[in-house]
Structure 1
């Protein structure tokens, strides 16, 4: 079971990297697109980070469910899963932004994208608090 925990933590780290990096990268992609008027290397990198971290997110959720099942799904696991579901929805929305950016559609402001990026930080902090303190 310890190897599942290791795999889970590695996958979570990779997924969180994408969750935190991609919205910020869209800001730079937007600026690059405005300057070049075309798809550039920042967009390519952003897409690659999103795709890679998406796979890690799937592994993180699958191994998290496995661990939850192993522990009998105590209340703290359900609370964590609720926050993870919100983070997954946030990541899905990020994917929508990436798909629109591939078409050259950047309607959100830099400020909006920065706030959107920081929302995920609060979700990650909530997950950490629940996992470490297990308040329920």
Structure 2
């Protein structure tokens, strides 16, 4: 029963984290296209609240609950190749999350160096990671 609760909460936290991973770079697209001070300030507030209030707590919960799931049967999980690939993708997502945080600070200080086109492409990375993670967990190809 504990396994099922941890799994359900892990999935809920993951969905919340991914909502932020999909939305924050989209805000960056619009922020990079804005040129007035009012829009700049509004985007800074939205980005900061999303990152600190939703994304980061959701990431921490996702990682903690995932670790809890792994702790229930570590010898089994760590012998599975799909898990190692999944953890690699999760590590890449954590790095992506931190890059988003650094970019948020650049926007806040007026030091953004990228165009809205860059952020449109940047926004696709978590989609690819999600595809890989879901396939690895459900199909378990190796």
Ranges in structure 2 where 5+ consecutive residues have no aligned partner:
none
Q: 1:36 to 1:93 in 2, by over 3 A?
A: same
Worse-superposed segment, 108-117 or 74-83: 74-83
Instruction: Write the mapping of 1:49-60 to structure 2, written as runs, cut at 5 A.
Output: 49-51=50-52, 52-60=54-62
Question: Root-mean-square deviation (CA), in Å?
Answer: 1.5
Aligned mate of 2:118, from 112, 120, 129: 112
Instruction: Write the mapping of 1:73-88 to structure 2, written as runs, cut at 5 A.
Output: 73=77, 74-88=80-94
Instruction: Write the mapping of 1:1-136 to structure 2, written as runs, cut at 5 A.
Output: 1-32=3-34, 34-36=35-37, 39-51=40-52, 52-72=54-74, 73=77, 74-136=80-142
Q: Which runs of 4+ in 1 moved over 4 A?
A: none
TM-score, normalised with respect to structure 1:
0.91
Distance 1:14 1:80 in 2: 18
The total of aligned residue pairs comes to 135
- Report how far residue 36 of structure 1 moved: 2.6
TM-score, normalised with respect to structure 2:
0.88
